[in-house]
């Protein structure tokens, strides 16, 4: 819950820095989970293991450079999760072998906190709408192939839902196969494992 709330807070914070105060006016510039969590998305996390938070509203008309600022706002969420994972990694490295925490659940909590944040960041960086990666990737693609950028935004939710459903039905997650090397890389980088 904290990872999702921090992720959405980062979007709102970056939007404000880029000139749009829409999220701030709506009370979304906070770490309070109540402001960010979606009821259905939260229930899905508890019962299915996959869910979502409410997207941060952004009015692109208020941005200085709409294309670049939307890319920055989209990147802020996944980068915030990598920052949390890096902080967890520092705790892991400095306190992990200490006698104070050796016989506690602290190492497991830090491990899973880092893994959840890294997985959330990598998942959101996939270039499939409505994920943040589609906003970042489309920002580049709009200059070279606007038709393809439009198709990614239009058909992305169906593709994403299909991939998730395929993984649940078959037990073979194509999304995890794509994400796993990146998750493993950041786990090694931040935690050394």
Residues assigned a catalytic role: 8
Burial of 110 (0-12, 13-18, 19+ CB in 10 A): buried
From CA 176, how far away is CA 49, in angstroms rounded?
13
SS3 state at 84: helix
Q: Could you tell me the two tokens for 29?
A: 């510039």
From CA 74, how far away is CA 137, in angstroms rounded?
10
Q: How many CA atoms lie within 13 A of 128 on its CB side?
A: 16
């Amino acid at each position: 819950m904290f990872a999702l709330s921090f992720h959405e807070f980062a979007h709102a914070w970056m939007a404000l820095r880029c000139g749009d105060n829409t999220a701030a006016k709506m009370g979304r510039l906070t770490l309070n989970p109540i402001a960010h969590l979606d009821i259905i998305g939260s229930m899905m996390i508890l019962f299915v293991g996959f869910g979502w938070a409410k997207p941060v509203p952004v009015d692109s008309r208020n941005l200085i450079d709409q294309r670049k600022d939307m890319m920055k706002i989209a990147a802020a969420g996944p980068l915030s999760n990598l920052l949390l994972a890096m902080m967890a990694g520092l705790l892991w490295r400095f306190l992990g072998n200490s006698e104070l925490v050796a016989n506690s659940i602290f190492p497991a909590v830090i491990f899973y906190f880092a893994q959840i944040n890294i997985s959330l960041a990598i998942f959101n960086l996939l270039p499939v709408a409505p994920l943040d990666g589609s906003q970042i990737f489309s920002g580049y693609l709009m200059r070279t192939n606007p038709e393809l950028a439009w198709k990614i935004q239009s058909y992305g939710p169906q593709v994403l839902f299909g991939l998730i459903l395929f993984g649940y039905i078959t037990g073979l997650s194509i999304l995890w196969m794509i994400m796993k090397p990146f998750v493993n890389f950041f786990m090694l980088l931040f935690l050394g494992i």
